[in-house]
Amino acid sequence: MDDMSIAAPLDAVSVHELEPWSDIDHESLKALLASSAVVRARRGDQIRTDIAILFYGALGVERSLFNGRRVLVSLFHGGDLIDLRREERPRQGRLVALADSLLLTLDAEALDRAVQEDPKLGKTLLHHAADQSGRTRDHIADLAAKTPLERLASVLFEFRRWPDVLAIDPGGESLMMPILRKDIADYLGIKPETISRALKRLQSAGMIATAREQANRILFLDIPSMRRLANGANPRET
């Protein structure tokens, strides 16, 4: 991993506190951790691992086209299990940190063994895979058919589900933007300028507000309208 440092070793107990992994048998987790490494990544670092558990932060799979065009194919947040073993041709996608992150890199064989020993782990993994494939389909629908305004509303709801973001405001009435405008733009297939303008439109429509003194904090004022918008309703119809 580029420019990444190995952080203080993590013990099974603290991983246990991470919501999605809390029901895994303590011993299985411990064995798995024995083959793992805790890694701290800073924004911009590339991460060269096939399998990882993201503890907190934000990662993305990045692809570059000619003319400097860049796409973020998918986003990962705290609690996600990332498994890129299936990735076809190499060079087609790089895993990069979009925010300062803490993650656990796992050994493929150790994971396979742990799954065999603890059926609950297998179930958790499967559930995560299903969740991620669902997110992927949602994302395709966003990219194929939605306006920038709708895409932004959609991604704001996505952020609202991120545990890191939730932790700051469990009520869910506000969120801190977890990644840069540029990265949101590359994820949504639009330009940062368009994000700015779309945020302004959401404000003047009374759906959101920005917190004074915290420009990067978004307050949700009208969640039902936002939801309709995110689902592809015409803004004039809401």
Which residues in this chain contact DNA in the complex, by CB under 7 A?
Answer: 147-149, 177, 180-182, 189-197, 199-200, 215-216
Out of 8, 90, 109, 144, point to the residue binding a second copy (CB under 8 A).
Answer: 144
DSSP string, 174-228: EEE--S-HHHHHHHHTS-HHHHHHHHHHHHHTTSEEEETTEEEEEEES-HHHHHH
Between CA 15 and CA 199 the distance in angstroms is 36
**Residue ranges in 217-236 that form contacts with a second copy under rule CB under 8 A:** 231-234
Residue 163 touches which of a second copy, DNA, none (CB < 5 to 8 A by kind)? none
User: What one-character DSSP code corresponds to residue 77?
Assistant: E
Of the ranges 64-72, 117-125, 176-184, 195-203, which one interacts with a second copy (CB under 8 A)? 64-72
For a second copy, the closer CB: 212 or 236? 236
User: Among 94, 111, 107, 105, which residue's Cα sits nearest to residue 7?
Assistant: 105
For DNA, the closer CB: 216 or 231? 216
Terminal-to-terminal C-alpha distance of the chain: 47
User: Among 136, 135, 155, 158, which residue's Cα sits nearest to residue 146?
Assistant: 155
**What Cα–Cα distance (Å) separates residue 117 from each residue in 98, 168, 192?**
34, 36, 47
Q: How many separate helices (H) and strands (E) can be counted in the chain?
A: 9, 9
* Residue 237 touching a second copy (CB under 8 A): yes
**Residue ranges in 1-60 that form contacts with a second copy under rule CB under 8 A:** none
For DNA, the closer CB: 121 or 198? 198
For residue 60, the minimal CB distance to a second copy (Å) is 12
For DNA, the closer CB: 20 or 189? 189
Residue 5 touches which of a second copy, DNA, none (CB < 5 to 8 A by kind)? none
User: What one-character DSSP code corresponds to residue 46?
Assistant: B
For a second copy, the closer CB: 189 or 192? 189
Q: Which helix (H) or strand (E) holds 169?
A: none
Tell me which residues touch a second copy (CB under 8 A).
61, 63, 65-67, 69-74, 86-89, 92-93, 129-131, 133-134, 136-137, 139-141, 143-146, 186-189, 231-234, 237
